[in-house]
Structures are given as C-alpha cells and as structure tokens.
Structure 1
C-alpha cells in the first residue's frame, strides 16, 4: 500500500510520525509533495519518506491520498490531480469547512472519500480526530482510516452533520485551553511564583484533570464538586468564575466557531 500526502505541514507531520511510530506503514510506503523544496527536504531527513516532483505524481502512485493543504488551496489542487483519482483510490481530507459534497463536486465524479478533523495536540501524540465517510467507502477503508488517525491520539467516527461541532470542541478549543493555562500561570506569577514553574503547575493540572474525566468516566460536574470543600478556597474561585460568566463565554466562543465553520 502506498500513502500519498499533498501538503507536508504540521498536521501531515503528526500523521506521518504517528503511523511510522505505530508501524502501520514503512517509510518506503509514504510519498509526499509540498509547496517548497525546503519543506520536502526537511521531511525526507526527519522521516526518511520519499517526495515526488508534482502533486499529480503523488496522486497517481497513491492507494490512499491525504489532502493536507489549507482549504483555500483545495480547488487548484483538486483540479491538478482530478484525472489521477480513480474509483479504487481512497481520498482523505483534513480541511476544515470543506464538506464531502463540496469536495466531490470539485472532483466532478464519485470519489471514495473520508473527511477528518484532527487537532494540534496530534503533534505530541494526543490528538482527537473526528472521522466521517461517504457512501463509497467500505468498512475496511473506514477501519484503516481510524487506525491511521488513532496512531497519534483518539479517532472517533461521527456523522458529517456533527463535523462543525467537532471542529469547535476539539479543533479550535486547544487555543482556549492555552489561554486558560496562560491566565492561571499569570495569576501564579502575580502571587510570587517563577514563570516557568507557574506554567508547569498550570499545564500539569489541566493534563491531570482531563485524564480524570477520560479514565474515571465520572461527570465533570461531579469531579468539580469533589474538589470544592465546604467553605474552602476552590468554591470561592468557582463563585468568581460563575460571576464573570466563564461558562457562558466558553459556550459562546464554541458556538461562534461552529457558525464560522459553516461559512468556510
């Protein structure tokens, strides 16, 4: 099996690193193209993969083709590779906002297509990727894609109607978590803690809290209650967050992401 990448940016790097680490494929089975020779040379040195002279060449030789370019470049890339895509090739898109219907219209023919929405924690092996398939995709193709995307975190099958929500709750939300970590660290610095140490405390607290939700299966609200001792410091902080509208602000931010995704 040959896996082709059109686009070799950060997300492609995460996918390639994950599937090589999990021995899903070998270096010799991966070929890719990027806009610059500098990027391709970097990927050859880091992962030992092959690179091609054009997108058409990558598409022609691939059994599975991963479109990892920015959404704005999709029309020109699809026009370039359209004739190389046959009914037996599996095409995987990781572009935000581009529906399967839109992509198939650009190809101007039926395509065996999977749409994925990974997030940036994939770069450290802790990604969360939403996966949806069209009617041409076989069960074994979907299973392979889930295995591929699961090599750098979690991969979850959902209907396409939920992709905008998935993009908001996992794709965009790392930015808000980083803001939360930064704000907590700022408060710790204001209380006298060195900056580096403040980031370590804040980051580990977020990591551990998320792990508790995933591994215990306990509702986040119940876990919150477990931390809030009567008359204690934590419940006082919770009171202030509720007063300042934290819950509503987060919901509104993600709703804005969903609406923006629908317009891409």
Structure 2
C-alpha cells in the first residue's frame, strides 16, 4: 500500500503542526490539498487553513478516516482522551506519528492496537524555521516504508536521528529542551553585555550572531569542539580569563545537572501517561 496516497492529517494545529506543514509543502512531499488538520480550537484550524490552504476538519475521527498518516501533535495531558476517541477509526493500514513529549509507544499501542504502526518523535522548536533537530523511535509494527516516510516528513524541518526509545528521555533533555537552555544562556550574556554599556538591541544582535557564527563554524568543520575553543583561547588572554571563571564556578556541573533535571522530568511525565 502507498502510505502517502490518502494524505496526512494532523490532530492538533499548534506551532509544531504548523512548522511540519510548512516544511512538507516547501519540500513537495505533499501538496496542500493532501494535508488536513483538526483541533479543538476552531481558530487554530482557521489560521492553518488560511496560511497553508489545508483542509480543516472539526472531527478527529473524520480526519483519521480521510488520511492514513496521522500526526498526533497534541499535549501529553490530552493524549489518552484523543486516543480513546480515534481508536475505532485507526487500523494497521494507518501510520501514527506522535510528537507528544513523554508518551511511550506502548501506551499508544495499548489503546490503538499492537498491529498499528506507531512512530514516536521528539522534535524541537527550531523546526519553526526548518532548522530543527528531531529524534524518532519505531514501534513493533513499523516497517522500512513507514520509517522512511517519517524520516522524509521530519527532514523537511531539519535534521533527524533514529534512536532506541529508551534514549528518548535523554533526547528530550538534550535537543528537545535544548533551545530553551540556549535561549537562557543568550539572555544572560545579553544582560551582561548591557551592564558593560551596550544598548539592548545591539547586545542582542551581537549575542545572536556570535552563537550563530560559532554554531556554523562547528558544523562546517571537522574540528573537535575542544580545539575550536582552544583556537580562541590565547595564553594569558581575555578568553582564558573568562573560561577560568566558568570552570572555577563549575559550569560543567551546572550544565550536567540541567540535563539530568530535564531528563528526570521527562521520565516523570512518561509515568503519568
């Protein structure tokens, strides 16, 4: 069966659904007339329809009957309720892709059926500008065709990694929550720059472009991160002084604890499913 022939449906019309729809239309993976979306908020459906000319559907079950690829782009707190609603409309001929944080594959399979192909995805918000990082894990009924379709959908909004589901809590902590951590670091450096006399806008632009340039340099060279750091660090220089202060204040321990705290919370959310 061609799993793309009936199109793709999004249950949940929030920011991540919008990012994915934008990406798959831009990549010509699906035409806009093959994309449908449902949401409990009619305003969100209307906004998606206006932006991307996709069909809005008020009923989740109707959407499942109309599409054979279903993306669950909903909050973890409402997942069980939505699954109970659609379970009679989902079968082994569907592909279900969940981007709900913390929801295990077996929790979805328990309600929809073990023969339903389920793929769990952890995306992140830079997908909104097609620069996302997504990790995917496959359920027991997923075959190579299912996996390739999911990879194509996620590649439309950035980079994709295939992982064992056991790694998903760590993925959530590193790349899922990662943009929030980076933004907080950027905020702090902007505030520090303002204390040195820069106005807010200049400080913000300096920091954003410094992070962007450093990331691009790391991406485009095969040089280890430690070596890139050393390239900027002259003995007795300003960078060395700043790095010494960071190390004396145990920046490594702080960041390790940050990742551990985020991972722990992801595990806790999974237990509440």
Determine if the TM-score, normalized by the shorter chain, exceeds 0.5: yes
Among 163, 168, 190, the alignment partner of 1:163 is: 168
2-side partners of 1:81 and 1:28: how far apart?
22
State yes or no: 1:185 paired with 2:185.
no
Structure-1-length-normalised TM-score = 0.97
In the alignment, what sits opposite 2:241? Answer: 236
Matching of residue 20 in structure 1 with residue 25 in structure 2: yes
**Offset, 1:211:** 1.8
Per the normalisation by structure 2, the TM-score is 0.94
TM-fit CA distance, 1:113: 0.6
Determine whether 1:101 maps to 2:126: no
Measured after TM superposition, the shift of residue 89 of structure 1 is 0.5
Unaligned residue ranges in structure 1 (runs of 5+): none
Measured after TM superposition, the shift of residue 108 of structure 1 is: 4.2
Please name the residue that 2:226 is paired with: 221
Partner of residue 206, structure 1: 211
What SS class does the counterpart of residue 189 from structure 2 fall into?
A: helix
Is 2:8–2:69's contact at 8 Å kept on the other side of the alignment? yes
Contact 2:10 2:37 in 1 (8 A): yes
Superposition misfits of 4+ residues, deviation over 4 angstroms: none
Deviation by residue 1:49-71 (Cα, 9 ceiling, x = unmatched): 00113000011111100000100
Partner of 1:260: 265
| Secondary structure class of the residue paired with 2:177 | helix
Indicate which of 98, 119, 125 corresponds to 2:124.
Answer: 119
Instruction: Please list, as runs of the form range in 1=range in 2, the aligned pairs for 1:75-90 lying within 5 A after superposition.
Output: 75-90=80-95
1:137 paired residue among 139, 142, 152: 142
The 5-angstrom pairing of residues 57-72 of structure 1 reads 57-72=62-77
CA distance, structure 2, for counterparts of residue 135 and residue 109 of structure 1: 8
* 1:227 Cα deviation after fit: 0.8
Deviation at 1:191, TM superposition (A): 1.0
Contact 2:114 2:141 in 1 (8 A): no
CA apart distance, 1:131: 0.7
The residue aligned with 1:196 is 201
Query: Out of 16, 31, 39, which is 1:11 matched to?
Result: 16
| Alpha-carbon shift at residue 99 of structure 1 (Å) | 0.9
Q: CA deviation at 1:230?
A: 1.0
> What is the alpha-carbon root mean square deviation over aligned residues?
1.0
**Greater Cα shift, 61-70 or 203-212:** 203-212
In the alignment, which residue of structure 1 is the partner of 2:250?
A: 245
SS of 2:133 mapped into structure 1:
strand
- 3-state SS of the aligned residue for 2:140? coil
